[in-house]
Amino acid sequence: MDPIEEYCRNITRREFFSKMAVGAGAMAFGDLLMRDGLAAAENPLQYGQMGAPHIAPKAKRVIYLFQNGGPSQLDMFDYKPGLKDKFDLDLPDSIRQGQRVTGMTSGQARFPVAPSVFDFKKYPNNQDGLWVSELYPHTASMAHELCVMYGMHTDAINHVPGITFLQTGHQQPGRPAMGSWMSYGLGSANDNLPSYVVMISQGYGNMQAISSNLWSSGFLPSEHQGINFRGAGDPVLYLSDPKGMNRTDRRRMLDAIVDMNQEEYHKTNDDEIMARIAQYEMAYRMQVSVPELTNLDDEDDETLALYGPNVKEAGSYAYNCLMARRMAERGVRFIQLYNRGWDQHGNLPNEIRMQCEASDQPQAGLLKDLKRRGMLDDTLVVWGGEFGRGVYSQGKLTKENYGRDHHPKCFTMWMAGGGVKPGITYGQTDEYSYNILDGGIHVHDLHATMFHLLGINHEKLTYRYQGRDFRLTDVHGKIVKDILA
Amino acid sequence: MQKTSNVRVIIGLLALAILCGAVWFALQGPAPSASTAHKVDAEQLEPLESRLTESGQIRPQMLAADAPVDYNFHVKPILSNNCFACHGFDPNTRESGLRLDTRDGATTSYAPEGETPKIAVVPGSPEQSEIWKRIIHHNEELRMPPVESNKPRLNEEEKSIIKRWITQGAEYKTHWSFIPPEKPEAPEVKNVDWPRTEIDNHVLAKLESFGADPSPQANRETLIRRVSLDLTGLPPTPDEIDDFLKDESLDAYEKVVDRLLASPHYGERIALDWMDVSRYGDTNAHHVDLERTSWPWRDWVIQAFNDNKPYDEFIVEQLAGDLLENPTRDQILATSFNRNHPITNEGGAISEEYLAEYAHDRVHTVSTAFLGMTMACARCHDHKYDPFTIDEYYSFFSFFNSIDEKGLESQNAKDAEGYRPYIFLAANKQDQQSLIDIKASLSDLDNVIAEVNWEEEHERLVKAEELDWKHLSPAYKHAFWNGEKVEGPNYKYLKVITTPEQIEERKKEKGLLEFDISLKDAAEGSNLVMIHFYGLQIDQVGPSRDLKTVKGKSMVSDLSLHVVKGPEKKPQIIRSVAVAEHWTSDSLLGNSNSAANALDQDSSTLWEQEPSDRALVVLLRLEEALPTPEEGHLRLAFHLEKGSLLPVQNSMVHVYVSKGRIGLAELADRVSPFSLTTIAPDRVRNRHKEQFALEWAVAKESNSSELFADWAQTRDQYYLLEQGAVRVAVMQEKPEPTPTFVLDRGAYDSPLKDRPVGRIVPAALGEMDAGYPQNRLGFAYWLIEDNNPLTARVTVNRYWQVIFGNGLVRTSEDLGFQGELPSHPELLDYLAVDFVESGWDVKGLLRKMVTSSTYRQQSVRRPEFDLVDPENRFLSWFPRQRLPAEFIRDNALAASGLLYPKVGGPSVKPYQPDGLWREKTMRANSNTGTFARGSGLDLYRRGMYTFWKQVAPPPQMEAFDAPSREVCITKRNTTNTPMQALVLLNDETYLEASRAMASRVLNEVPGAWDDALNDRLVRSYRYLTGRHPTENGLKTLRNLTLESYDVFSADAEKAKGFLSYGASPLDESADTIELATLAYTASAIMNLDKTITRD
């Protein structure tokens, strides 16, 4: 055991516990000691603010593969063979039903139907099979694990409000992210890493902005904000000790800091000081645990091969997928990936091909890897963007080329593991993949369902701010029971 | 064990609640003797947990059994939290027709007509009261609050409160914060020597009421650091500390306070709090996240605080400065407050949706910042708790939605229209006046434009001339510069040049600029008769502000037209096309027109063009009509002799095609060149449209270019001045208010046309004087009226929070039904009334606070009060508080001597890790796509001037709880995280400051290493913490230093490595090992709790 930790534990343990205030830092420290087995197992802080799960959890963690920009369900999952005959015909008014379109196509004289240029194939799942296009063979090979939801729909029609809605349950910035709610509700499950981590990979097409408000803790205490692990430079900002300083030098400095902070504590009785000492120790441990996390030397070739050729390129989607598994193993509760570049308004067939090539094998590799390690059962993997894309062509339509505008009325997402029924499809859209025929899942419903799987009653996890008890699902959200295992 | 500490808090909260209640009684109502409350023994208050609400708040209901209950302090918190959501203000969600938030509703029958009457509250008789029956109902299903509300059942204490309230007559009262404050008498205290100000009487009376006493005064070192940080955000220097320690006069402390209040840094410190409230940022927050220029407004705020502008004026000018009579530049600038919200420029965004969002944001900000009310709930339905209807919400909204603004902003930062309405602020006062004068004379001319219906005119002319204009596509998505492709999407032939370096480069080049036009889209059998080229700009003066450095004429030796065919890179010229006649924008402007020199096939004669803000327009009438379509492309080539000819953003080539019959002679006769400068309005940006419109209109009216030349000159003057100015978005009212309706469920596209709303203020808060203007100005006047119950309370409460860490009402954003109750209601009222009486004197208010005995107490927590006041709401000691993010940095810079203390000006970009902007931004279009670190003194400005990119705020600020600034926030969190440790330990800012600190003490304390070491350590410690180290502390520092000295001595490379951070020059005169060692120790001191805490 590290001498300074030992010191803290032996000398000041009593103080920690007897003086601890409900301050955020103090809480985190309590949490930390508890997991070291020093405190009673029933310590409520293990479960963050909730005390204990509301319901028996199926999933212990989430890996959310956010496809930023709005992937085209028509070209990947939502197979509409009938459209081939409707090439360049106008989208019927009976289908469009006067629904609003974005400012980018509202001026278009026509809405000509653009069938997907891609071939689809049926892959066996636990029902009568799953149609997936040629773009996603690896992902399709995991059909027996996927729960594919054709009936996703959202309220937002543009990227910023759309992403914000998916990630925070509200279209305008300012609310806590889903991962922050989870961190707040469930607390941390590890000693050395943050409980909510964000990783971004750059894509190949039109890249939409991504704002750190998407992983902000909003009005929740900022310790619950997502920590952005980066592909370049320090994986965590400011992680590396400066040049000319090794671990011993750092330790020596920290010992002096602890010593002087302790003295100050004895003078002032201020619990925050002890919390700060604990946070410095956590930082010290992170300086070791994060490099250990990002060092892939202990991955065998077979594993690396699962994720495809880019797996060692820091910041790539493949690298981030592998990192997600490594974090999952180490107790990070909410692992949020952003894969940018799906906004294909024009030249869709070319751009989506590159985008899919870069994402297919890595995410399928992640599923396989989790599966073979027995981790898929308690890891909820979620895949999807902020909305779908429309059946009519944006801009010029040819047999080979077209673009697609945003479409919020239906899109496809999938989940796997973590208590979701494997190998099923859910919901159905009309022949144009324009409207939902049955099995609609609103963003709030998705949130409610995800929380349910995590053992959280989405109506009960609330935070009082400005006089109101806020929650992720606002005043909405129905659990989609049909997809629960 | 954990439980113990919770218990401590719970008991304390209960005690606090009792005390609050007791004090409130003293003020409001049937007064129980103070002793009744204070006799309650906290130990007897078991069970404890049951009295906490789910969110950890305590219901302030504990009372001695016989004490009268108070509606506001005991009953309403229970009713509001448990009942009002379904039986409250909002009729749409009112269950069973029962309303409990009014006495009428509660005491009259809510049973449907014809059924047995049911009365919720029968005063005096709980047994007959439905509410009581349902609260204690034996049937789970029928008991209130219902299971599905997810509310815990009422506990015994809560039940007893309700019961006693009904028994005692079920009195209702207006919500406490809606009652205008009255100045209370200063309470009497036992310890008459302690109070220095009336604040102290209130605080001490409360402490004495539960047998507590205040803490001793803090020592002078502590005091001067505390007050310096609180009033300026900067630490005192060792000299200032020593002066104060030596000053034996009675008012030594007051002198320090007055010095600090007069410091220019006072304005910065107080403005910081306002930056959070007013969601200040340097970018637009959405999508491309363009830079916006709001810092002149920030300067205005700093200046306002430094000038001690009365706070009522501060409010009026920010909300409605533009509506004051003959507003000054500053009064207009002040209104930028309400343009700080996020603004979108996402291509597909729907303008109306965002116009509504901007107005919603203003409602939220104004109601939170000035009224301490949360209106947002009433956006979709009547408020569940506070008495605001959805109609009232939209009435409030209608004050703020009639701005002449755009919902969807341009993605081009240079496009002025996007920020409309805005003002230009010139560098100095004289220029500013000229700017205003010139703008006025221009606006006369602008009126001419306004009268032209110009799409119609264009249509008519084109028709009359039997001309058909057609935009022919470019043949390639690029133009050629000396044969090299210049990439760009359609209509943007050229790479946009953005840096002065690129411009200089281009200027030097003599070259050939070629545009290719595809002819294949022209209708079969038509004739190409005219080419309209728009798109080169000679120099850049004016709106394209980044490109302002090129000066001097541009010279074109030849302008030629060819038909070309063949491979893209080296097409063959099939033939040349002769030009019969030309017009250029130069000739239209009445400037000398030497364009003929470019068309004369003689490359020694030059077409010279003066710099201008306008894009160059060239009209070429062909000698012979060119039949189309024709194979190949039409190539337009400019031979530049001196290339300050730059492409504008939307270069275009238009080709006019006749329908085949019109002859050239006819054309020359019938077509006015001016008419041809008109181009389809949807293809051009407004500014250019305006320009062309004017050219046309003037020509048509007078057929002379004289007037136009005047205009052009005036315009040029304007742009020249504007070039040295910055553009700030401000408020400007439309001539007529936008008709406003209740929006169904808050949706912008669902106005309820049968529910129009007018501009009125929420009824629960009073009404606006009919004599006031019915607009934002009237609204602002209403806010600052003496009898507005909220504005002054909210303001003094927030300043109390600035000084004492928490407000007297801790939920400083919410003084409504669900907000917390004040810890010292009478003190809050005293401060509010006194503040108004003082003429809204902020400095005076803060002076009262920081000279009080309450403020001067030492900051040692007193465990003996843990049970009754664990959170120190009664201030029996002064609260230690970690510094805000910005001041942690300021402290390190100031202590190390690096700080550049300039006040105001544009934001700066100090160190941050690479790539943070790039990975989040849409880099193609954004001018904040890539972070370019600042240099020189910009690296050492105060933290509040750090460029605030809202998509990626400065990471070291985020780590220390700075909000993202997208929405109004009145109070920051204070957390304690490992990220904070990593920032202080490893960020370049702090490493450089450590090095500078080492240099500083080496120089200031000369001497041999061993001899001077203690003094140097003491000095470092004093700079950073304002104190002398303790004996043990000094020993620790000394040991640390000696050990690391050995380490660095053993490996000089390590020393060099540690000293390699930061842009400031390394102190070459110092011994590397000594410097590194002291820097290492300084880094340790920077990480001490004491350093980053104001105690």
All residues of chain B having their beta carbon less than 8 Å from the beta carbon of residue A66 are none
Name the phi and psi angles at B104, rounded to 5.
Answer: -55, -50
B247: left (phi over 0), alpha (psi -120 to 50) or beta: beta
Q: Which of B11, B871, B979, B987 to mutate to test the interface with A (most CBs of A within 10 A)?
A: B979
Q: Which of B821, B873, B1083, B1089 to mutate to test the interface with A (most CBs of A within 10 A)?
A: B1089
All residues of chain A having their beta carbon less than 8 Å from the beta carbon of residue B985 are 238, 241, 250, 253, 283
Q: What is the ipTM of this complex?
A: 0.79
All residues of chain A having their beta carbon less than 8 Å from the beta carbon of residue B386 are 467
pLDDT of residue B741: 97
All residues of chain A having their beta carbon less than 8 Å from the beta carbon of residue B222 are none
CA dihedral sign of residues B693, B699, B700, B702: positive
Name the phi and psi angles at B843, rounded to 5.
Answer: -60, -40
Tokens 């002032």 belong to A268
CA dihedral sign of residues B155, B158, B162, B165: positive
Name the residue facing A211 among B819, B920, B1058 (closest C-beta): B920
pLDDT at B158 over 90: no
Question: Distance, in angstroms, between A308 CA and closest chain B CA?
Answer: 23
Q: Are B180 and B788 in contact (CB under 8 A)?
A: yes
Nearest CA in chain A to B981: A280
Tell which B residues from 954 to 993 touch A, by Cβ distance under 8 Å.
955, 958-959, 961, 964, 966-967, 973-983, 985-987, 991
**Are A22 and B56 in contact (CB < 8 Å)?**
yes
Q: Which of A14, A238, A264, A289 to mutate to test the interface with B (most CBs of B within 10 A)?
A: A238
More confident residue, B622 or B145: B145
pLDDT of residue B547: 32
CA dihedral sign of residues B224, B227, B228, B229: positive
pLDDT of residue A108: 83
Q: Comparing C-alpha atoms, which of A356, A313, A335 is closest to residue A67?
A: A356
Length of chain A as a residue count: 485
Q: What is the pLDDT of residues A312-351, one digit of tens each?
A: 999 999 999 999 999 999 999 999 999 998 999 888 998 8
Tokens of A330: 């180490």
Longest Cα–Cα distance in chain A: 82
Nearest CA in chain B to A23: B975
CB pairs under 8 A between A and B: 284
Question: Distance, in angstroms, between B62 CA and closest chain A CA?
Answer: 22
The full DSSP string for B752-813 is EEEEEE-S---GGG----TTS-SSHHHHHHHHTSTT-SSHHHHHHHHHHHHHHSS-SSS-TT
pLDDT at A357 over 50: yes
pLDDT at B594 over 90: no
**Are B964 and A173 in contact (CB < 8 Å)?**
yes
More confident residue, B577 or A357: A357
pLDDT at B436 over 60: yes
More confident residue, B657 or A248: A248
Q: What is the pLDDT of residues A251-272, one digit of tens each?
A: 999 999 999 999 999 999 998 8
**Are A221 and B975 in contact (CB < 8 Å)?**
yes
pLDDT at B662 over 60: no
CB contact B287 to A (< 8 Å): yes
pLDDT at B912 over 80: yes
All residues of chain B having their beta carbon less than 8 Å from the beta carbon of residue A259 are 1032, 1036
Longest Cα–Cα distance in chain B: 109
How far is A452 from A472, CA to CA, in rounded Å?
12
pLDDT of residue B617: 63
Nearest CA in chain A to B376: A466
pLDDT of residue A5: 41
How far is B973 from B980, CA to CA, in rounded Å?
14
Nearest CA in chain A to B866: A19
**Are A268 and B961 in contact (CB < 8 Å)?**
no
Tokens of A61: 């963690």
Least confident of A94-103, B852-861, B893-902: A94-103
Tell which A residues from 193 to 232 touch B, by Cβ distance under 8 Å.
200, 202, 207-213, 216, 221-223, 225, 227, 230, 232
Nearest CA in chain B to A249: B1044
Q: Are B811 and B274 in contact (CB under 8 A)?
A: no
**Are B979 and A283 in contact (CB < 8 Å)?**
yes
**What DSSP state is assigned to residue B111?**
S
Tokens 């750090």 belong to B946
Tokens 């009402």 belong to B809
User: What percentage of chain A exceeds 90 in pLDDT?
Assistant: 67
More confident residue, B726 or B743: B743
More confident residue, B305 or A106: B305
**Are B348 and A104 in contact (CB < 8 Å)?**
yes
pLDDT at A19 over 60: no
How far is B967 from B278, CA to CA, in rounded Å?
8
Residue B620 pLDDT grade (very low, low, confident, very high; cuts 50, 70, 90): confident
Which of B65-79, B594-608, B629-643, B979-993 is predicted most confidently? B979-993
Residue B2 pLDDT grade (very low, low, confident, very high; cuts 50, 70, 90): very low
Question: Distance, in angstroms, between A464 CA and closest chain B CA?
Answer: 6
The full DSSP string for B696-755 is HHHHHHHS-SHHHHHHHHHHHHHHHHHHTSEEEE---B-SSPPPEEEEGGG-TT-EEEEE
CB contact A257 to B (< 8 Å): yes
Neighbour-count burial of A7, counting CB atoms closer than 10 A to its CB (0-12 exposed, 13-18 middle, 19+ buried): middle
pLDDT at B653 over 60: no
Nearest CA in chain B to A161: B286
Helices of type H across B509-635: 585-588, 596-599
**Are A468 and B377 in contact (CB < 8 Å)?**
yes
Q: How many CB atoms lie within 10 A of CB B211?
A: 9
pLDDT of residue B446: 57
CB contact A134 to B (< 8 Å): no
Q: What is the pLDDT of residues B990-1000, one digit of tens each?
A: 999 999 999 99
Q: Nearest-5° angle of CA B810, CA B814, CA B818?
A: 95
More confident residue, B474 or B383: B383
How far is B393 from A269, CA to CA, in rounded Å?
47
pLDDT of residue B66: 62
Q: Are B534 and B505 in contact (CB under 8 A)?
A: no
CB contact B349 to A (< 8 Å): yes
pLDDT of residue B26: 36
User: What percentage of chain B exceeds 70 in pLDDT?
Assistant: 74
Residue B384 pLDDT grade (very low, low, confident, very high; cuts 50, 70, 90): confident
Name the residue facing A244 among B150, B921, B1058 (closest C-beta): B1058
Tell which A residues from 137 to 176 touch B, by Cβ distance under 8 Å.
157-160, 172-174
The full DSSP string for B920-942 is TS-TTT-TTSS-----GGGGGS-
What's the pTM?
Answer: 0.76
CB contact B1059 to A (< 8 Å): yes
Which of B291-295, B442-446, B740-744, B922-926 is predicted most confidently? B740-744
pLDDT of residue B61: 35
Least confident of B340-354, B368-382, B560-574, B882-896: B560-574
Name the residue facing B1080 among A160, A243, A253 (closest C-beta): A253
Residue B32 pLDDT grade (very low, low, confident, very high; cuts 50, 70, 90): very low
Tell which B residues from 583 to 612 touch A, by Cβ distance under 8 Å.
none
More confident residue, B368 or B7: B368
Q: Comparing C-alpha atoms, which of B690, B701, B695 is closest to residue B673?
A: B695
Q: Which residues pair with B823 in a beta bridge?
A: none
**What 3-state class would DSSP assign to B860?**
coil
CB contact B88 to A (< 8 Å): no
Residue B504 pLDDT grade (very low, low, confident, very high; cuts 50, 70, 90): low
Least confident of A212-216, B15-19, B307-311: B15-19
Name the residue facing B408 among A103, A256, A466 (closest C-beta): A103
CA dihedral sign of residues B812, B815, B816, B820: positive
Helices of type H across B618-705: 664-670, 673-677, 686-702
Tokens of B55: 């969110």
pLDDT of residue B466: 52
Q: What is the dihedral of CA B379, B381, B382, B388, to 10 degrees?
A: 0
Least confident of A220-229, B587-596, B1057-1066: B587-596
Peptide bond into B673 cis (omega under 30): no
Least confident of A23-32, A394-403, B378-387: A23-32
Q: What is the pLDDT of residues A33-71, one digit of tens each?
A: 333 333 333 333 345 777 778 888 999 999 999 999 999
How far is B714 from A448, CA to CA, in rounded Å?
62
CA dihedral sign of residues B1068, B1069, B1075, B1076: positive
Mean pLDDT of chain B: 80
pLDDT of residue A20: 35
Neighbour-count burial of B701, counting CB atoms closer than 10 A to its CB (0-12 exposed, 13-18 middle, 19+ buried): exposed
Non-local CB neighbours of B766 within 8 Å, separated by 6+ positions = B782, B785, B787, B788, B789
Average pLDDT over residues B398-407: 93
User: What percentage of chain B exceeds 90 in pLDDT?
Assistant: 47
Residue B866 pLDDT grade (very low, low, confident, very high; cuts 50, 70, 90): confident
**Are A207 and B923 in contact (CB < 8 Å)?**
yes
Least confident of A10-14, A163-167, B104-108: A10-14
**What 3-state class would DSSP assign to B586?**
helix
